[in-house]
Amino acid sequence: MANNGTPTTHSLPLCAARFPTLAAALEYASRGETGYNFYNGRGQLYCKLPYSELYAQAQELASRLVDLGVERGSRMVLVAETCPDFVRFFYACQFAGIVPVPVPAAVHLGGREAYIQQLRKLIQSAKPELAMAPADYLEMLETACEGLPVQHVGGAEYFDQQSQNSQPLEPLGAHELAYLQYTSGSTRFPRGVMIKQKAVMHNLNGILQHGQEMNENDRCVSWLPYYHDMGLVGLVLAPMASQRSVDYIGTRDFAMRPRLWLNLMSETGGTVSFSPPFGYELCARRVRPSDLERLDLSAWRVAGVGAETIRPSSLSNFANALQEAGFDRRAFLACYGMAETSLAISFAPLERDVHIEYVDADRLGHEGIAVTVDPMIEDRRVNRFVRCGKSIPDLDMEIRDTDGDVVPEKQCGTIFVRGPSVMSGYFNEPEITAEVLSEDGWLNTGDMGYLVDGEIIITGRQKDMIIINGRNIWPQDLEFLAECQPEVRPEDASAFSVTDDEGQEVAVMVVQCRQADPAVRRDLAERLRASVQAEMGIDCRIDLVPPHTLPRTSSGKLSRSGAKKDYLQRLDIKRVVDKSSAKRVAA
Amino acid sequence: MKNDFDLLALIQRELQQIKPEIQTITADTDLVADLSLDSVQVLEMCTAIEDELDVSIPVNRLGDVRTAGQLIAVLQDITST
């Protein structure tokens, strides 16, 4: 290997996560030569951490954590920057009988206060005894913990200086938690998904054996954040549990220099990498003609794509731009999953490219039935959806209508899943857990979709559905129309419905607008309204707001429910102001 | 080592590359509110400045930065150490 990271191949036979716990998986991986490799913002390797070393380091640190005397099953919050300390602490927790809780490491320009508030909400929810942050985040973590009963808050050195306990370690067992995952829910009301060891091990086996068919020549590359389920389970735990090497660049470094990802794939001969669609889109926009001669992406076997809605165009832009560098579009692997099922629910078949379903948008909207159409021939409004494959083994999936009855294929409904990968519930939230997880183990995913040939197609989030005059309107459709305007970028629009004074449901779209000129703004709002009117046949209130206004979930997805709440608040303030100015006029 | 004036000129130049409609900025210009930069544009600006000055801006320092003057103070701080 040119860059001297851990090797891709070694003599240890591949075992696809057939272990009872993460601790046992790391013990097996430590017998080989592979491991984690960390690259800086210039794409240079700055740390290689073979699983053998990680295993020894994690056990040593675990004995120090045990000596702090916290109760078994206590939580430890880890500000999850992409760095060796995170993985060392994550696995140390496994050996110490402490449940790690990865939390976001991402501060925006001028966003210090917001970040501290977010951390504080997470800490109030997870109730940890211990909390660790890398140097850059430590002061903010300390501020966030002020007045909260966290026993030990510190940087890595603080915990490394503690004395070692001489008792034998008792790693977290198969029926204990593996970690708490704070991906789902909004930043204001975070929910900690409880994942047991046996759940995550089941899911890892499904990912490795069924989804990716991980083999002895595979090597992973990732820039996904460690605090996100896809980053943590898919690209930290899965490679370790299959004894493969991984090359990491920081999420922020990727966002600043997206081509680093491609460089790393090319340099290390990476075969497996995952990204939400926007990562592929960013690369497609930034790639330069000179890159194409330099890059060799021909080894890239699995280019995973996971996100709520996969927009086919972002993937085809990427494939077209990088075809010359040897990228094969059959590498695209659409998948579906969520933190509540550890990570994966389904994978499309390998080596297929994305399979797009074209369905009659009116019939889907009116009747909830997916009728396939040929967009080249038929003159109808068409929805494009990506097939996300069949569920992984032992995970049952069914689609139910609003009465709770299972519906046949091609009929839209709510997606339910059941099986060993499903969470035990939300931490300290029995009511919210009972709302989504039935006693017989079925999880209401909250997502809408339909099955075709046993494959799942996601059409949207149930709670986000807009129903106007008995017709189902997908908010994504409205947002897509907004993004068609030159001033509007992806993720600048959030659509939902509110009830007006007459009790009628009205569509609203909040759109982030960078233009200050009132005439330009009026023009944009008019164009948007007209376009929604023309395409969907409904009236839609357009609310233009400054950039960064739209609220996001902790995983970075736009939160439509959050946008709706903020909109109603703005409306209330406006009403009060209008009333008081009306009074003044009357007086 | 550059003085504050050089750094302000540099920031303005890089911002105009990203958003040509941006005119003269001052130390008091609020990068997010006045210039309506989104997070991708902020990172683009940081990338350009990092490349120009051959420095790395620590992520935690950006949390306190709202104005061009505050960004200059951060840049002075990291180039002096």
**What is chain A's pLDDT, residue by residue, as a tens digit (587 residues)?**
456 899 999 999 999 999 999 999 999 999 999 999 999 988 999 999 999 999 999 999 999 999 999 999 999 999 999 999 999 999 999 999 999 999 999 877 777 887 898 899 999 999 999 999 999 999 999 999 999 999 999 999 999 999 999 999 999 999 999 999 997 544 446 789 999 999 999 999 999 999 999 999 999 999 999 998 999 999 999 999 999 999 999 998 998 899 999 999 999 999 999 998 878 988 998 898 899 999 999 999 999 998 656 778 889 999 999 999 999 999 999 999 999 999 999 999 999 989 999 999 889 878 899 999 987 877 777 888 899 999 999 999 999 998 999 999 999 999 999 999 999 999 999 998 999 999 999 999 988 899 999 999 998 765 676 867 656 677 888 888 898 888 898 889 999 988 777 667 789 999 999 888 889 998 999 888 877 876 676 778 999 999 989 998 777 778 888 899 899 988 888 777 776 666 555 54
Cβ contact, residue pair A108, B64, below 8 Å: no
Cα separation values, A219 from A5, A229, A263, A342, B39, Å: 11, 20, 14, 22, 31
Q: Detail the DSSP E strand segments found in A453-584.
A: 455-461, 466-468, 471-473, 493-499, 505-512, 540-545
Q: Which of A109, A255, A256 sits opposite B65 (nearest CB)?
A: A109
Taking alpha carbons only, the member of A295, A261, A297 closest to residue A278 is A261
Letter for the amino acid at A518? P
A interface test, pick of B59, B65, B67, B71 with most A CB neighbours within 10 Å? B59
Supply the pLDDT for residue A455. Answer: 96
Boundaries of every domain in chain A: 474-586
pLDDT tens digits, residue range B28-42?
Answer: 998 866 776 666 678
| Closest residue, chain A, to B37 (C-alpha) | A547
Interface of B with A (CB under 8 A): 31-33, 36-40, 42-44, 46-47, 50, 56, 58-60, 62-66
- Give A96's Cβ-side CA count (13 Å radius): 32
Q: Which of B36, B46, B63 sits opposite A111 (nearest CB)?
A: B63
Cβ contact, residue pair B42, A108, below 8 Å: yes
Cβ contact, residue pair B43, A252, below 8 Å: yes
B interface test, pick of A81, A109, A254, A281 with most B CB neighbours within 10 Å? A109
Residue in this structure with the two tokens 């959806």, named with its chain if needed: A385
Q: Can you tell me the distance from the alpha carbon of A322 to that of A258, in angstroms, rounded to the nearest whole number?
A: 14
What is the least distance, in Å, from the CA of B2 to any CA of chain A? 23
- DSSP-derived 3-state class of residue A505: strand
Q: Can you tell me the distance from the alpha carbon of A87 to that of A78, in angstroms, rounded to the nearest whole number?
A: 10
> What domain range is B71 assigned to?
4-79
Residue A248's DSSP bridge partners are A38, A222
What CATH number is associated with residue B21? 1.10.1200.10
Q: Which residues of A381-410 are buried (b: 16+ CB within 10 A; e: fewer)?
A: bbbbbbbbbbbbeebebbbeeeeeeebeeb
Residue in this structure with the two tokens 């899943």, named with its chain if needed: A417
Contact criterion met (CB below 8 Å) for A446 and A413: no
Q: Please return the burial class of B46, using the count of CB atoms within 10 Å of its CB with bins 0-12, 13-18 and 19+.
A: buried
Percentage helix, strand, coil, to 5, in chain B? 60, 0, 40
Q: Can you tell me the distance from the alpha carbon of A180 to that of A342, in angstroms, rounded to the nearest whole number?
A: 10
pLDDT tens digits, residue range B60-77?
Answer: 788 888 899 999 999 999
Q: Can you tell me the distance from the alpha carbon of A362 to that of A345, in angstroms, rounded to the nearest whole number?
A: 28
The CATH number of the structural domain formed by A474-586 is: 3.30.300.30
Q: Which of A110, A140, A547 sits opposite B65 (nearest CB)?
A: A110
Which residues, in sequence order, are CB contacts of A464 under 8 Å at separation 6+?
A475, A496, A560, A561
Residues of chain B with C-beta less than 8 angstroms from the C-beta of A141: none
What is the least distance, in Å, from the CA of A110 to any CA of chain B? 4
Enter the pTM of the model. Answer: 0.83
Q: Can you tell me the distance from the alpha carbon of A122 to that of B68, in angstroms, rounded to the nearest whole number?
A: 32
> What's the CA angle centered on A529, arms A528 and A530, to 5 degrees?
90
Chain A to chain B Cβ contacts (< 8 Å):
65
Rounded to two decimals, the ipTM of the complex is 0.85
* Number of domains within chain B: 1
Contact criterion met (CB below 8 Å) for A559 and A186: yes
**Phi, psi of A262, rounded to the nearest 5 degrees:** -65, -40
The pair of structure tokens assigned to A527 is 């164009």
B interface test, pick of A256, A260, A544 with most B CB neighbours within 10 Å? A256
Pair type for strands A425-426 and A443-452: unpaired
Q: Can you tell me the distance from the alpha carbon of A144 to that of A153, in angstroms, rounded to the nearest whole number?
A: 10
Residues of chain A with C-beta less than 8 angstroms from the C-beta of B29: none
| Closest residue, chain B, to A134 (C-alpha) | B60
Q: Which of B40, B42, B59 sits opposite A136 (nearest CB)?
A: B59
What is the residue-wise DSSP string for A195-253? Answer: EEHHHHHHHHHIIIIIIS---TT--EEE-S-TTSHIIIIIIIIHHHHTT--EEEE-HHH
Contact criterion met (CB below 8 Å) for A148 and A131: no
Residues of chain A with C-beta less than 8 angstroms from the C-beta of B56: 41
Cβ contact, residue pair A546, B33, below 8 Å: yes
Q: Which of A107, A512, A514 sits opposite B60 (nearest CB)?
A: A107
- DSSP-derived 3-state class of residue A479: helix
A527-530 long-range contacts (CB < 8 A, ≥24 apart) are A527/A485, A528/A481, A528/A482, A528/A485
Sign of the four-CA dihedral A314, A317, A321, A327: positive
